[in-house]
């Protein structure tokens, strides 16, 4: 099938089932909040490592519902699964047990990877040419 989908799906079906793009979107909604959140944490002299761990804990909650079964492109499916696994580990696994290992670089990577994955979904699954701007 064109675009790499096993069958055509509509946006309402994806949102209702919270399968892929919607879950990544909910994860990225936390990226919008992180600037103000961290400025407040710094001004109140909270340990930043706790802020990073807390951010991953809240943002990665949305990834439990993320499903990759409709991604027919094996490389893309593996990329999404690796991203999901690492984010969940940072927010609910090793990162939760030992938050000192969660860094700002981890957050930047996770946010950038999520955006790049969405662009790749547009291109490979939906056949949409992505023109990357700033952000």
**Residue 124, token pair as written in the block:** 């490979």
- Each domain of the chain, given as residue ranges in start order, spans 2-125
Q: What is the DSSP letter of 130?
A: P
Residue 90: CB partners within 8 Å, gap ≥ 6?
A: 53, 56, 60, 102, 106, 110
Q: Please identify every stretch of the chain with a pLDDT value under 50, giving residue numbers as ranges.
A: 1-6, 12-17
What's the whole-model pTM score?
A: 0.77
pLDDT attached to residue 40 = 76
């Amino acid at each position: 099938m064109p675009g790499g989908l096993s069958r055509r799906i509509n946006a309402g079906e994806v949102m209702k089932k919270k399968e892929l793009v919607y879950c990544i979107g909910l994860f990225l909604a936390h990226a919008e909040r992180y600037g103000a959140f961290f400025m407040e944490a710094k001004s109140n002299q909270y340990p930043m490592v706790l802020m990073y761990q807390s951010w991953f804990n809240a943002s990665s909650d949305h990834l439990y519902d993320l499903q990759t079964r409709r991604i027919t492109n094996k490389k893309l499916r593996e990329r999404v699964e690796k991203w999901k696994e690492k984010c969940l580990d940072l927010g609910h696994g090793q990162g939760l047990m030992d938050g000192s290992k969660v860094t700002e670089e981890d957050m930047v990577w996770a946010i950038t990877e999520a955006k790049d994955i969405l662009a790749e979904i547009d291109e490979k699954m939906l056949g949409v040419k992505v023109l990357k701007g700033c952000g």
